[in-house]
Amino acid sequence: MSTIQFNRIAIIGLGHIGSSIARAVKELRLAGELVVTDGSAAIRTRATEIGLGDRVAPSNSEVVKDADLVIICVPVGKCGDVAAEIASHLKAGAIVSDVGSVKGPVTREMAGHLPKTIHLVPGHPVAGTEDSGPDSGFAELFINRWCILTPLPGTDEAAVEKLTTLWRTIGANVETMSPDHHDLVLAITSHLPHLIAYTIVGTAEDMEKVTEAEVLKFSAGGFRDFTRIAASDPTMWRDIFLANKDAVLEMLGSFQEDLSKLTRAIRRGDGEALFDHFTRTRAIRRGIVSLGQDSSHANFGRPLEKLPQDAKPAAPVVSK
């Protein structure tokens, strides 16, 4: 059984990540009191119904009162506004963190609003699914996933260590880096893949020679997995691309150069260039699996249906 790490933890925003943190903190009893809130009255009502916190506060200013740790779990475009709203209600010595996927501009904006008497330790748990809302969270979400902390120079080391301990207790691996370096890393590992997924799914939708029914019916594994990514919360990803536009555009430029090389190889029938490229990318996949960041099982660990033992051969389908 874990021990209490903070007398009072406040969570602002009860979507997928916020509700997962709340569940983990509550299950492991890491707070003397867990107080939660959300900007939506309907979500606050639902949080009360499912018991996400010991108490559901009616507002952001109310939830942070006397909190030792405040975790802001809202889209990155709203982090600065939330920081400004809660600034005068924070107690001295409190730790304020977030879970946003963009750190550089967001961290600087939050720091500009918060008083010098608190410790700002921004964070980003690199975990989640395409689902959203308070019912989508689960306590085990962060197990063996990475949480990146991006404190500014001069941040109190004890505050960073306390937050590190919390994340490790709920199962995450923790790494610390600068906000701007975080944004460059995530631009290639997360933001660009999402942009590509949104583009590919949108291209399929716009095609006139292939019907939507055919796209849905004959989705192979690659396209199917792109649709999972493209089903992510549109508000969150709109804000991410706008907030991290410089790093995303830099990575997008590199991607377009590589895509042009592959285009030329296909046009010229250069099988050797294609084979060499695919060999290198295959090694990246194996590295991810070896680090325990994905399953090595067939079909990405998805359960496979078994053939019925008494099935009769189906009549062939003939395309007209």
CATH number of the domain encompassing residue 197: 1.10.3660.10
> What single string gives the DSSP state of each residue in 167-228?
HHHTT-EEEE--HHHHHHHHIIIIIHHHHHHHHHHHHHHH-SSS-HHHHHHT--HHHHHHHH
Residue 238 located in a structural domain: yes
Of the candidates 172, 168, 170, 166, which has an alpha carbon nearest to the alpha carbon of residue 6? 166
Residue range 8-22, pLDDT digits in tens: 999 999 999 999 999
* 161 and 262, same domain (yes or no): no
Domain that holds residue 202: 182-294
* 219 and 148, same domain (yes or no): no
Residue range 284-319, pLDDT digits in tens: 777 766 766 665 555 555 565 564 666 555 555 555
Residue range 17-42, pLDDT digits in tens: 999 999 999 999 999 999 999 999 99
List, in order, residues 6 or more apart from 205 with CB less than 8 Å away. Answer: 212, 215
* 162 and 46, same domain (yes or no): yes
Residue 156 located in a structural domain: yes
Question: Domain count of the chain?
Answer: 2
Residue range 108-147, pLDDT digits in tens: 999 999 999 999 999 999 998 778 899 999 999 999 999 9
| Single residue among 129, 154, 177 that ends a domain in this structure | 177
In terms of pTM, does the model score above 0.75?
yes
pLDDT at 273 > cutoff 80: yes
* 44 and 165, same domain (yes or no): yes
| Single residue among 122, 157, 177 that ends a domain in this structure | 177
| Single residue among 127, 153, 177 that ends a domain in this structure | 177
Q: What percent of the chain lies above the pLDDT cut of 90?
A: 68
Residue 312 located in a structural domain: no
Residue range 160-193, pLDDT digits in tens: 999 999 999 999 999 999 999 999 999 988 889 8
* 157 and 266, same domain (yes or no): no
* 90 and 200, same domain (yes or no): no
* Span 264-287, average pLDDT: 89
